[in-house]
Structure 1
Amino acid sequence: MNNSFIFYLFITLFLGVENVKAQEKHLFLPVDSLFSLAEHNSLQLVGSRQKINIVKKRTEIEKQEAWLPEIGASASMGYISNAHVWDNHFNYESTVKMPHTSIDFSLDAGFTVFNGGKTKNSLMKSELEDQIAVLDYQKDKESIQLLLLAKYLDLFTLYNQKEIYQQNIELAKHRLSNIQQLIKQGMLTHNDNIRSSLQLTELNLKLTEIQNDITITNHDLGIVIGLPEKTLIDVDTTLYDKAFEAAGLSFNKKDIPEIEAAEKKVESANKQINIEKASRLPQLSLYAGDAWARPFLYSIPPIDIYMHFFQAGVRLKYDIGSIYKSKKNIEKARLEKEYAETQKNWIEQKAEIDSHSSFVKMNEAQEKYDSEKESYRLAQDNYRVVEQKYLNKFATITDMLDASTALLSSQLNLNNARVNIIYRWYNLVRNTGNWQQVKN
Structure 2
Amino acid sequence: MSCSILKNIKSDFFILIITCFIGGVGYTQNDETVRIIKLDEAIQLGIQNNNQIKLANSDVVIANENLSQTKIAKTPILGLNMGYNYIGNPKIYDGFYEKSIDVDYFNHQASASFLASMPLYYGGVINNQIDKQKLIVSMQESVVKMTETEIKQTITSQFFTLEKLYKQIEVTKQNIINTELRIKQLKSRVENGQNLKSDLLRTELQQSNFEVSVFRSTNSIELISNYLDILTGLPTNTKLKPVLDGILIPKTDSSLDESLSEAYQNRYEIKRSEINVKIAESSLDITKSGFKPNINANLLLNTQYPAQWPNYTTNTLNYWGAGVSLNWDVSSFYNIKHRINSDQEQINKSNIALEATKDVINQDVKSAFVRFAESVKNISTFKKDVDLALSNYKIVKSRYDNDFAVISDIVDAELQLNEAKISLNNANIDSIIQYYFLQYAMGKL
Question: What TM bracket, shorter-length normalisation?
Answer: 0.7 to 0.9
Alignment pair present for 1:273 and 2:284: yes
Residue 403 to residue 36, structure 1, CA distance change in 2 (3 Å):
same
Rounded Cα–Cα distance in structure 1 between residues aligned with 2:229 and 2:382: 32
Q: Does the 8 A contact of 2:35 with 2:240 survive in 1?
A: yes
Rounded Cα–Cα distance in structure 2 between residues aligned with 1:358 and 1:198: 39
Q: Name the counterpart of 2:385.
A: 375
Percent identity of the aligned residues? 23
Which secondary structure state, in structure 2, belongs to the residue aligned with residue 279 of structure 1? helix
Shift in Å at residue 183 of structure 1?
A: 6.1
Q: Name the counterpart of 2:305.
A: 294
- Alignment-mate amino acid for residue 250 of structure 1: S
Aligned 1:32-181 pairs, distance under 5 A:
32-63=40-71, 65-80=72-87, 98-179=105-186
Rounded Cα–Cα distance in structure 2 between residues aligned with 1:337 and 1:171: 68
Q: Does the 8 A contact of 1:246 with 1:359 survive in 2?
A: no
Rounded Cα–Cα distance in structure 1 between residues aligned with 2:91 and 2:300: 32
Residue 81 to residue 341, structure 1, CA distance change in 2 (3 Å):
farther
Rounded Cα–Cα distance in structure 2 between residues aligned with 1:261 and 1:229: 34
Shift in Å at residue 306 of structure 1?
A: 1.0
Which secondary structure state, in structure 1, belongs to the residue aligned with residue 235 of structure 2? coil
Superposition RMSD in Å? 2.8
Rounded Cα–Cα distance in structure 1 between residues aligned with 2:181 and 2:196: 17
Q: Name the counterpart of 1:234.
A: 241
Shift in Å at residue 412 of structure 1?
A: 2.1
| Larger displacement relative to structure 2 (375-384 or 276-285) | 375-384
Residue 371 to residue 84, structure 1, CA distance change in 2 (3 Å):
farther
| Larger displacement relative to structure 2 (382-391 or 119-128) | 382-391
Residue 212 to residue 350, structure 1, CA distance change in 2 (3 Å):
closer
- Alignment-mate amino acid for residue 140 of structure 1: T
Rounded Cα–Cα distance in structure 2 between residues aligned with 1:362 and 1:379: 25
Q: Name the counterpart of 1:427.
A: 437
- Alignment-mate amino acid for residue 216 of structure 2: E
Q: Name the counterpart of 1:394.
A: 404
Which secondary structure state, in structure 1, belongs to the residue aligned with residue 336 of structure 2? helix
Shift in Å at residue 324 of structure 1?
A: 1.2
Alignment pair present for 1:244 and 2:255: no
Q: Does the 8 A contact of 2:186 with 2:407 survive in 1?
A: no
Which secondary structure state, in structure 1, belongs to the residue aligned with residue 443 of structure 2? coil
Q: Name the counterpart of 2:420.
A: 410
Residue 336 to residue 396, structure 1, CA distance change in 2 (3 Å):
same
Residue 143 to residue 378, structure 1, CA distance change in 2 (3 Å):
same
Q: Name the counterpart of 1:260.
A: 271
Which secondary structure state, in structure 2, belongs to the residue aligned with residue 411 of structure 1? helix
Q: What are the ranges of 5 or more consecutive residues in structure 1 without an aligned counterpart? A: 1-21, 87-93, 436-440
Residue 112 to residue 246, structure 1, CA distance change in 2 (3 Å):
same
Q: Does the 8 A contact of 1:114 with 1:285 survive in 2?
A: yes
Q: Does the 8 A contact of 1:286 with 1:314 survive in 2?
A: yes
Q: Does the 8 A contact of 1:273 with 1:334 survive in 2?
A: yes
Q: Name the counterpart of 2:293.
A: 282
Q: Name the counterpart of 2:318.
A: 308
Q: Name the counterpart of 1:3.
A: none
Q: Name the counterpart of 1:89.
A: none
TM-score, normalised on structure 1?
0.84
Q: Does the 8 A contact of 1:169 with 1:203 survive in 2?
A: yes
Rounded Cα–Cα distance in structure 1 between residues aligned with 2:319 and 2:126: 32
Q: What are the ranges of 5 or more consecutive residues in structure 2 without an aligned counterpart? A: 1-29, 94-100
Q: Does the 8 A contact of 1:246 with 1:362 survive in 2?
A: no
Length, aligned pairs only: 406
Aligned 1:298-377 pairs, distance under 5 A:
298-299=309-310, 303-377=313-387
Shift in Å at residue 61 of structure 1?
A: 1.1
Shift in Å at residue 148 of structure 1?
A: 2.2
Q: Name the counterpart of 2:19.
A: none
Rounded Cα–Cα distance in structure 2 between residues aligned with 1:270 and 1:313: 35
Which secondary structure state, in structure 2, belongs to the residue aligned with residue 312 of structure 1? strand
Shift in Å at residue 217 of structure 1?
A: 2.0
Shift in Å at residue 67 of structure 1?
A: 2.5
Shift in Å at residue 83 of structure 1?
A: 7.3
Which secondary structure state, in structure 2, belongs to the residue aligned with residue 235 of structure 1? strand
Rounded Cα–Cα distance in structure 2 between residues aligned with 1:243 and 1:403: 28
Rounded Cα–Cα distance in structure 2 between residues aligned with 1:364 and 1:23: 34
Shift in Å at residue 105 of structure 1?
A: 0.4
Shift in Å at residue 298 of structure 1?
A: 3.0
For the pair shown, the structure with the greater C-alpha radius of gyration is: 2
Rounded Cα–Cα distance in structure 2 between residues aligned with 1:230 and 1:326: 58
- Alignment-mate amino acid for residue 379 of structure 2: Y
Which secondary structure state, in structure 2, belongs to the residue aligned with residue 394 of structure 1? coil
Shift in Å at residue 179 of structure 1?
A: 4.5
Rounded Cα–Cα distance in structure 1 between residues aligned with 2:187 and 2:439: 54
TM-score, normalised on structure 2?
0.83
CA deviation digits over 1:312-333, x for unaligned, max 9? 1111111111111121121111
